[in-house]
Structure 1
């Protein structure tokens, strides 16, 4: 009795908002590893003369590490400590950006991009875990919602500030600026969090089964697999659309504007999908609606390419629908999962499939657009939407957990 009254008198830890925001900034700096190559794609083409497919492969090479180690990354981070993994990943990313600022040979550049994948994966695994630890229970949904915007915000910032740096000072300064930014946030987080009492206890997970056996079980479970398949075709498309579609706009002013606006529209679509899935319909139906909206928009896009303003409007609608896909896929996992273990499997597989899409998408889109222009883009997105619709319907056939 005395113990229980004593425990009830202990105040719940407050949300450490400054540290949460700093961790969010770390996520932005990691997502800029994709965004900096997206905004500088034309400059890289001109400097290295390697063609759109090879340069597109360099853009997507960041996803290779997550593709291979996505499911097991959380286990690795919990063994070494989330803060150590986060700071190490940020400092690695900073070092690689500084190497890229020297504009080395293309082969060296490609290797640095693959190594950046380990940096990006470390941040994506460790930062949200630390955010959850530093958040009060009544703020966790809010802080994780803030975290979820990091990718779109990174592309918007690179489309604005990064594009200005690129136009005025060139590729070297762009990569140098990113290197200084990601290194600085790594150093700041180290000194801010190294003695934080909330982070003193770091869980250690044990290997309960062989890695390959664990992977086989996850892939055989449709409740974990299908949300990831829905998510796959989104990641395959989004980075490519944000990279290549602005170049199809005939007005240079509108091109710059869309580099900033499109990532924000995508982020808005993700929040919208979450709200619809919460209050109006099952997330599987939201995903189905989103892919149908993307397909309708891209069909309309092929008909109005002569008007830059109307083209931008339809692209905005397409990206809004596209942004709804991750919101619905993330909502599917707790809806379909029967227990916490299954839910964790779903999120791990989502990370792996997301990196698969980000790796395969850019070189595929670059090749299609280089060969067939806008028609290549339209046909490729329509094919992707067909698969997205198929897996959304398949996921809808699974009975949800009451």
Structure 2
């Protein structure tokens, strides 16, 4: 009786860089589902004449789907097939953007945002799983580092090209352009990947047991759970730091520069972490170094609060270290996972924990800042780093799959 191929026997003989870059672009197009509403927030308020709370809810509705269905998405992708889920999610996203381009009534727009959450979740679960399969072992951490930059790149591109489209041609053109981009990349990936021999080698997922029993196994699996905890404390912190810290800078010109530079710095940190994890140390150790760097930077920040330029430099260093955490977390999953099904489940859990952190973090940091100012922020960052260091150490104790 022939043996079933093991996970380690179905790796790509060489890294397929073109396909990986296209999958990265797919991730960028999915993250633009957040970014397009972020850059057009004021325009949406004026067009629909709704409250800021309702419009803000339409912005966060995409992430709430990931918060609820993150783990189940990974399970579904392993059953249905990663390429099918990816292409279906991209085409769904394109269709919803086309509907939004007609500027429908707000209740219809809100429904499309919820459905976009399903689209975005399908991409962030399936695309990194496919990237890992298309990467040779010597490049896997590096390609995960590249993948981890997709969110920051999406916001940078949307802030540049998207804002120009919005200012010159309006909301309809912005949404229509996004629909064309995300649909096109979906079709291109289907054509290029549907007969890829490496993806044909992916073994069937182990789907024994009922849906809820499988879900509980995922939550009890440290190979998926620990990278997700490492990621959780990053998302708790980064959104809050990017939102609130520039407001602590007294110099208005420096404040404006920091609003532009900080997202770019965190994206650089994510790519840097992938490269370090590939060539210098294990991803778990990278996460440990990153959280330690954030903690030291926060302590220094509490000592130089009155010097604007020095304050900005230390914040930049802190955000660079913070940006290294998602690169390390993403690299941990293919390093620790024993099969593609476990990888997809890990990415689904990562998405769920990430959305939880992004939901809980900002109000917690806002409360600390209002009550205690910079000292409150520093203490909270140090607490977060303690947990991040703890889970990085626990993840480092797991035996790596060869």
TM-score by length of 1: 0.77
Q: Which position in structure 1 is the counterpart of 2:31?
A: 31
Between 290-299 and 82-91, report the one with greater CA deviation. Answer: 290-299
Aligned pairs, number: 383
Compared CA separation, residues 202 and 46, structure 1 to 2 (3 A): same
Displacement of 1:90: 0.7
Structure 2 unaligned regions, length at least 5:
1-11
Q: Which position in structure 1 is the counterpart of 2:390?
A: 394
TM-score by length of 2: 0.77
Q: Secondary structure at the match of 1:70?
A: helix
Of residues 285, 288, 311 in structure 1, which corresponds to 2:288?
285
Q: Which position in structure 1 is the counterpart of 2:356?
A: 356
Compared CA separation, residues 169 and 313, structure 1 to 2 (3 A): farther
Compared CA separation, residues 397 and 326, structure 1 to 2 (3 A): closer
Contact 1:237 1:361 in 2 (8 A): yes
Per-residue CA shift, 1:35-74, capped at 9, x if unaligned?
2222223333444454444333322221222222222323
Summarize the alignment of residues 285-304 of structure 1 with structure 2, pairs less than 5 Å apart.
Answer: 285-293=288-296, 295-296=298-299, 303=306
Q: Secondary structure at the match of 2:71?
A: coil
Per-residue CA shift, 1:6-51, capped at 9, x if unaligned?
xxxxxx8544332222222111111111222222233334444544
Per-residue CA shift, 1:168-216, capped at 9, x if unaligned?
3333322221111111111222233334444445543242233333433
Q: Which position in structure 2 is the counterpart of 1:8?
A: none
Summarize the alignment of residues 60-71 of structure 1 with structure 2, pairs less than 5 Å apart.
Answer: 60-71=60-71
Compared CA separation, residues 169 and 377, structure 1 to 2 (3 A): farther
Contact 1:272 1:324 in 2 (8 A): yes
Q: Which position in structure 1 is the counterpart of 2:5?
A: none
Partner Cα separation in structure 1 for residue 24 and residue 361 of structure 2: 26
Q: CA RMSD in A?
A: 4.0
Q: Secondary structure at the match of 2:108?
A: helix
Summarize the alignment of residues 39-118 of structure 1 with structure 2, pairs less than 5 Å apart.
Answer: 39-118=39-118
Contact 1:38 1:242 in 2 (8 A): no
Compared CA separation, residues 104 and 283, structure 1 to 2 (3 A): same
Contact 2:292 2:389 in 1 (8 A): no
Displacement of 1:262: 2.8
Q: Which position in structure 2 is the counterpart of 1:385?
A: 381
